[in-house]
Chain A
């Protein structure tokens, strides 16, 4: 079995909220992904991906802002990592 990873960045912590960014990493070697290779997300939300068989394997933790950092922005906050396992022979 080989692992495919789909990383979806949601508008909010709600798994039904819309996808705003995405990445795909394919351990089966069947697909190649790179930056800027699609204009529309593969799924409109994390839940939509789950309905297509993707398993959520990591939830983003939520932390209050550190004092003094309340208005700083950095990484996308609502990052969900999903996987599918596929037979390496098939």
Chain B
């Protein structure tokens, strides 16, 4: 188990539910960043079969030390529990002087669960804008599309490139829309990505001391602007996710759900 101070807070969870990802800048110490960069360059992070306990993996590698950092463990435990399964990982590489951005996509096929996997995006070296990095589209995670169905799109209001210093980690809902950005520098860019599956019901797994924080409804109502007229439908999706995560079937924001769930059946009694 992880100490409470390393778990996510309720306000962070609300941001995850609204935005589909969280970022933690310069979280990993530099000596580990350098060691993982060397492992990525030498191809020393072996793939294993999907569905194994994460805790069994990479006992000798620096990447294993990164995954076992208390804060990383806290992030993982808050979202998918303390004993998640390894789904897969990849070392994503963008060659130097590559002017072409990857197409927008979500990872894997349409996924209708409300239960969710997470993906860690670990940037082990500095990633300035001219080097990329991964572009995220905040608030895209509940959209039902399959892989590269969204490849016609190029730009969105509010798109967010991961421009960051070494040691930065983002954690995203499996449905987030994203794409690797061009690398206009003379150096190869690496990014380590790891997908994890929950093994427990995703309910109140984080530090819930601030569960009544009055900022949470506002966080869940964030308007990322690119979805235009569907902004309130997106809020409904987040309310459903917050209800799932908190096991509170009556939770609401701005009366959006209460209104459409009001279907009284009691009949007026004659005097």
Contacts and interface: CB of A to CB of B under 8 A. Distances in A.
A63 interface: no
B144 A73 contact: yes
**Which size bracket describes the interface of A in this complex?**
20 to 34
Contact of A71 (B102, B149, B237): B237
Contacts of A30: none
Contact of B233 (A17, A21, A71, A78): A71
Interface in A1-15: 7, 9-12
A73 B102 CA distance: 23
Contact of A21 (B101, B155, B229, B236): B155
B152 A23 contact: yes
Contact of B100 (A17, A34, A38, A77): A34
A36 B155 contact: yes
B145 A74 contact: yes
B237 A20 contact: no
Scoring A17, A22, A35, A39 by chain B CB atoms within 10 A of each residue's CB, the highest score goes to: A35
Nearest to B158: A20
Contacts of B143: 73-75
Interface in A53-84: 71-78
Q: Name A's interface SS.
A: loop
A24 B153 CA distance: 9
Contacts of A20: 156-157, 225-228
B226 A21 contact: yes
Contact of A74 (B135, B144, B179, B225): B144
Contacts of A17: 228
A83 to B, nearest CB: 15
B159 to A, nearest CB: 6
Contacts of B234: 73
Contacts of A18: 228
Contacts of B104: 35
Nearest to B160: A36
A66 B182 CA distance: 39
A71 B236 contact: yes
A34 B152 CA distance: 10
A78 B100 CA distance: 27
A39 B101 CA distance: 14
A42 B103 CA distance: 20
B217 interface: no
29 contacts: A9-B153, A9-B228, A10-B228, A12-B228, A17-B228, A18-B228, A19-B157, A21-B156, A22-B155, A23-B152, A34-B100, A35-B102, A35-B155, A36-B101, A36-B135, A36-B154, A36-B155, A37-B154, A38-B155, A41-B155, A41-B157, A71-B237, A71-B240, A73-B230, A73-B233, A73-B237, A75-B143, A75-B150, A77-B230
Given A20-B228, A21-B156, A23-B153, 19 more contacts: A7-B152, A9-B153, A9-B226, A10-B228, A11-B229, A20-B225, A20-B227, A21-B226, A32-B99, A35-B154, A36-B154, A37-B101, A37-B155, A71-B237, A72-B144, A76-B153, A76-B226, A76-B228, A77-B230
Interface of A: 7, 9-12, 17-24, 32-39, 41, 71-78
